[in-house]
Amino acid sequence: MKKSIFSIALGAALSLSALPADACTRILYETGTKSYLVGRSMDWMVDTQTDLWAFPKGMARDGGVGQGSIKWTAKHGSVISAFFNVGTVDGMNDAGLVANVLYLVESDYGDAAASKKPKLSIGAWGQYALDNFGTVAEAVTALQKEPFVIVAPDLPGGHKAGAHLAIADASGDSAIFEYLGGKLVIHHGPQYTVMTNSPSYDQQLAINTYWNTVGGLQFLPGTARAADRFARISWNLNAAAKESDPRLATATTFSLIRAISVPLGIADPKQPNIASTVWRTVSDEQAKRYYFESAYNPAIFWVDLEKVLPAAGGKPMKLDLSGRPMLSGEVSDKFVAAEPFKFLSK
């Protein structure tokens, strides 16, 4: 007998009791002029020591895991947020493609050691997408062929490096990539506007379908768990006004992602992966503007990609955020040349 959407949702919800509550939220917001912004929160147990980087097109890259690593040359320049300077977890390229890497405990990339495919560090997954593709359709066509196998060593602090990838482009197209049971699963289409964490994306959609029948004006789940955040932000995103003024559109995207954030200092000893929001980003895909907000500072700053990206073949540039400097406004002039970080390898 075919299961109803509600039985699937119930099973998924019950299974959450065996899973840690994970971190981070991503949304794709449509403006009144049919342009798009991507908002994202980074929730983690400690400060992620994030710096911003500007990488030029023409940059030679490899998968970061030594012998057998995949190699490529960047077709696009990008501005990114690094995670402990071992991985690209967020960013936008010069074509307006946005990549967001979020934690997913169920991730299973298969046996990399047994595979004959070129290897790619989990820390390089988002960067590979930004370097190589200008649209979601282009990325899906290439990545569904699985040109590499992902290697996922433990993260700094010993946490499992499980993650899924969301991408969006200036047309509003969107895709979610997950590796489950060693197999790549892709959800492709503009309807995929929200991503959080556990459970897997098909189960998140089923749970959210249930909450849609309840109605956000009646009741929405209120915890910091990933499935609850998925339901709340989905309803809020659909209810939010589609602003035509670029400033109001940016403000609306920030208001949505702030509303789903976890306050500083929130922790649950029974759910060790419930974590405070440590930073937020908004990527304006039409204006090619990348906004960054640290939860530790009461200010927003941004980078105009046309101003900051090095010329093709130029040196990478870094905005050092150690010490939590108080920044506001456009900050391209504060980037300095630096050797690029190495992707997570061991």
Q: For the purposes of burial, counting CB atoms within 10 Å of the CB of 158, is it exposed (0-12), middle (13-18) or buried (19 or more)?
A: exposed
For the chain, the 3-state helix, strand and coil shares in percent, each to the nearest 5, are 25, 30, 45
- Return the structure tokens found at 133: 């593709």
- State the catalytic residue, choosing from 23, 24, 195, 224: 24
3-state SS, residue 160 = coil
Q: Round to whole Å and give the CA distance between 144 and 340.
A: 28
Q: Are 101 and 84 in contact (CB under 8 A)?
A: no
Question: Which is nearest to 299 in space by CA: 320, 280, 275?
Answer: 280
The conformational region for residue 174 under phi > 0 = left, psi -120 to 50 = alpha, else beta, is beta
Bridge partners of residue 271, in order along the sequence: none
Q: Round to whole Å and give the CA distance between 153 and 343.
A: 11
- Return the structure tokens found at 47: 């400060």
Q: Is 24 a catalytic residue?
A: yes
Q: Round to whole Å and give the CA distance between 313 and 32.
A: 37
3-state SS, residue 109 = coil
Q: Does 316 sit behind a cis peptide bond, omega within 30 degrees of 0 on the bond before it?
A: no
Bridge partners of residue 303, in order along the sequence: 290
First to last CA, the chain: 46
- Return the structure tokens found at 186: 């892709």
> Catalytic positions, please?
24
